[in-house]
A and B are shown apart, each in its own frame.
Chain A
Amino acid sequence: MSQLTPIHRVTGRPIPLRGNDIDTDRIIPARFMKAVTFDGLGQYVFHDVRFDAGGAPQAHVMNEPRFQAKGPRVAVVNKNFGCGSSREHAPQALLRWGVKAIVGESFADIFFGNCVALGIPCVSGTAEVVAELMKAVEAEPAHDLTVDLDSLTVTYQTKSYPVTIPAGARRQLIEGTWDATRVLLEAAETIRATAERLPYVRGFAARSK
């Protein structure tokens, strides 16, 4: 298993994705999940709100010339982003489109965990902070937005805002341990011992004395 590089800070051009309760079906419609790999998902991110039935671009922030930028991107979102399905295809599609970090008011539980597993920090600001940041990046998108997990701030142009992230996820990211398999396998013996203690694993047979 590869050693992961710790993530202390992510910098990229902002992409504002306004709206509460943006669900994972909207982020990646189910028909694009008919594949055995995650390759190529980036082109389908938000497909059905970016393109009409004939495939022509519709009014959507991701289609606007001023929000086209090369390199890593940082998304700015509102409440309960990523609700609905557990599909990892949603953060995979965002990642492959370029999103390396997300700043928002709040995130759905499963989506948040899936992002951590991919090394995508999702940090939360208050409604006021996110509203101000959203306005700032919509007004003037051609600057880098920085998410700093050490100082728990996001910085845009000259202004810094306080953000939060659950301590466990923060530690996984800054220590490079978000790919959990390796960490979990360290306890192989304890895993077996835990299993052996569970009556149903033993088939409800009496525990050997």
Chain B
Amino acid sequence: MGKNLLDKVWAAHTVRELPSGQTQLFIGLHLIHEVTSPQAFQMMREQGLKGLFPERTIATVDHIIPTDTRQRPFADGQAEAMMSAIERNCREFGIRLFDRDSGDQGIVHVIGPELGLTQPAMTIACGDSHTSTHGAFGAVAFGIGTSQVRDVLATQCLAIQKPRVRRINVEGKLQPGVYAKDVILQIIRTLGVKGGVGCAYEYAGEVLRRMSMEERMTICNMSIEGGARCGYVAPDTTTFDYLRGRRFAPTAETYDEAVRWWQGMASDADAAYDDEVLIDGGAIAPVVTWGINPGQAISVEERIPSPESFAADERETADDAYTYMGLQPGSPIAGTRIDVAFIGSCTNGRLSDLREAAKVAKLGKVKPHVKALVVPGSQSVARAAEKEGLDDIFRSAGFEWRLPGCSMCLAMNPDKLSGRQVCASSSNRNFKGRQGSPSGRTLLMSPAMVAAAAIEGVVADVRPLLRAEGA
């Protein structure tokens, strides 16, 4: 029996087995941002600790940063204090910070890949649950808490239990108008929000093989929403081609050597898995969430499920969701009126996401009752999009074109829902209150579906729009 990628990466990064039965695992790349790191630096100071490999930690600012102004100090004093703290901490501990003046600032899970920092067979950690994104490169990447951020700063290691590995094979061919976002929502809908607890998900199959790196990032990003702490795709020529020439990727002189090592770390053809799941990619239609967790999702053609369709122990969450969302069992999700449309986030804030959304935005105008925002994932994404004129397409359709950041995905900056507003969102979580209003409502969907909802004013199937236009 061969080995899967997780086995190989785990073995290569094991410092030792700890008495607790956990592994002391070396972390090749540590990413930090302003929300979950300040307390870790404070603990470092209080405990007299120094960074062990400060050059292996990279910082940026994304969560609290305003998207409508570059002005400092920020109007929000708390946000300004967090910004000043990360600047000071990075200076003091010798950590490279990609801030707005660097031209490379952006959402931490967008900039790691685009700078070539994220590479196959690395271990990557960040105080952010969407660190699973980096698994798209065949890295083993997971979110950690702040005490563990301190552990990595001080020791470049984590004490961690090795997960089981479940392979998810997505076979067939996606229909036009069906995107990576729909695939991962379908996976979560099928396996449940706790289906992946204790697991790493290895995504494989024809659909994944054909996907671009950005699409694979969207899939891996939401692994955590299925309960899996990490998710990955074994690296292949798509991965290697993406990395070639990127700023922190191996240089031309060492590139072939790097590819040889990366190829050797990919899962063997006869690798063993704890279990395997098959998903029919051709059967997936655009998916929309209707409830208060990402597993409460249906295709845009379906109706809100009836209470009877839930297992006994899911019934209570379903009842809670009907009430919170104000949606009736049996009513179609298509046609649900929206107030806000948000395109962006570490899930869907990359250039290809903006291109797909722009194709739809071109077909109409944002309805007058809808506030629509496009927030590029990074300064680099923004520059590339502006070069193609995507910003003009969005603006002339009535969308606001903002500066990069996490923005309305979790609303720690001024971009928030108010009251019970309904938001069609390309982000990753539809939890109660997630988008900044304690009673705000989120419908997760692909960026193209968000654009369709913005111009229709209601949840709408993007496929007929694309067909009519031959887009």
Contact = CB atoms under 8 A, between A and B. Distances in A.
A48 B193 contact: no
A104 B143 CA distance: 22
Shortest 4 CB-CB distances between A and B: which pairs?
A88-B145, A114-B145, A86-B143, A117-B147
A168 B254 contact: no
7 contacts: A21-B194, A34-B76, A34-B79, A88-B147, A168-B20, A171-B21, A199-B258
Contacts of B128: 85-86
A31 B156 CA distance: 30
Contacts of B81: 35-36
Contact of B254 (A21, A47, A205): A205
Contacts of B316: 18-20
A110 B129 contact: yes
A29 B16 contact: no
Interface string B403-445: 0000000111000000000000000010111101011000000
A34 B197 contact: no
Contacts of A33: 35, 412
A204 B147 contact: no
A163 to B, nearest CB: 17
Contact of A204 (B158, B224, B250): B250
A166 B194 contact: no
A53 B419 CA distance: 9
A185 B155 contact: yes
A81 B30 CA distance: 27
B242 to A, nearest CB: 16
B36 interface: yes
A80 interface: yes
Interface of B: 12-16, 18-22, 24, 26, 28, 35-36, 38-39, 42, 47-49, 52-53, 64, 76, 78-79, 81-82, 85, 119, 121-122, 127-129, 131, 142-148, 150-151, 154-161, 163, 193-194, 197-198, 224-225, 227, 229, 250, 254, 257-258, 261, 293, 313-314, 316-317, 320, 410-412, 429, 431-434, 436, 438-439
Contact of A198 (B28, B224, B429, B432): B28
Given A21-B317, A26-B432, A197 B258 contact: no
Contact of A201 (B28, B47, B317): B28
Contact of A203 (B225, B254, B293, B314): B254
A11 interface: no
B78 A109 contact: no
Given A48-B432, A117-B148, A171-B19, A110 B229 contact: yes
B19 to A, nearest CB: 7
Nearest to A34: B78
A195 interface: yes
A201 B15 CA distance: 15
B240 to A, nearest CB: 13
Contacts of A118: 147
A191 B431 contact: no
Contacts of B439: 53
Interface in A17-47: 18-21, 23, 25-26, 29-31, 33-38, 47
A187 B82 CA distance: 33
Nearest to A87: B36
A35 B431 contact: no
B26 A195 contact: yes
Interface string A79-91: 1100111111101
Contacts of A20: 313-314, 316-317
A85 B129 contact: yes
B36 A84 contact: no
Contact of B412 (A18, A30, A109, A187): A30
Contact of A25 (B52, B143, B163, B429): B429
A191 B121 CA distance: 18
Interface residues of A, number: 70
Nearest to A18: B316
Contact of A191 (B15, B227, B261, B411): B15
Contact of B64 (A34, A47, A166): A34
Interface centre among A88, A106, A166, A179 (most CB of B within 10 A): A88
B39 A36 contact: yes
B257 A187 contact: no
Contacts of B48: 1
Most buried by B among A108, A184, A185, A190: A184
A173 to B, nearest CB: 10
Contacts of A106: 194, 197
B49 A184 contact: no
A183 interface: yes
B156 A109 contact: no
A180 interface: yes
Nearest to B320: A19
A186 to B, nearest CB: 9
A79 B257 CA distance: 46
Interface core residue of A79, A191, A205 (most chain B CB under 10 Å): A191
A86 B40 CA distance: 14
B28 A168 contact: no
B122 A86 contact: no
A59 interface: no
Given A38-B39, A48-B438, A171-B19, A195 B156 contact: yes
A167 interface: yes
Contacts of A85: 128-129, 143, 410, 429
Contacts of A208: none
Given A30-B412, A200-B261, 14 more contacts: A19-B316, A26-B431, A37-B39, A38-B39, A48-B432, A84-B429, A86-B36, A108-B194, A109-B229, A168-B161, A177-B19, A181-B155, A183-B18, A184-B154
Contacts of B229: 109-110
Contacts of A114: 145-148
A169 interface: yes
A3 interface: no
Point out which of B143, B145, B258, B436 has the most chain A C-beta atoms below 10 A from its C-beta.
B145
Contacts of B127: 86, 88
Nearest to B293: A21
A1 B39 CA distance: 16
A113 interface: yes
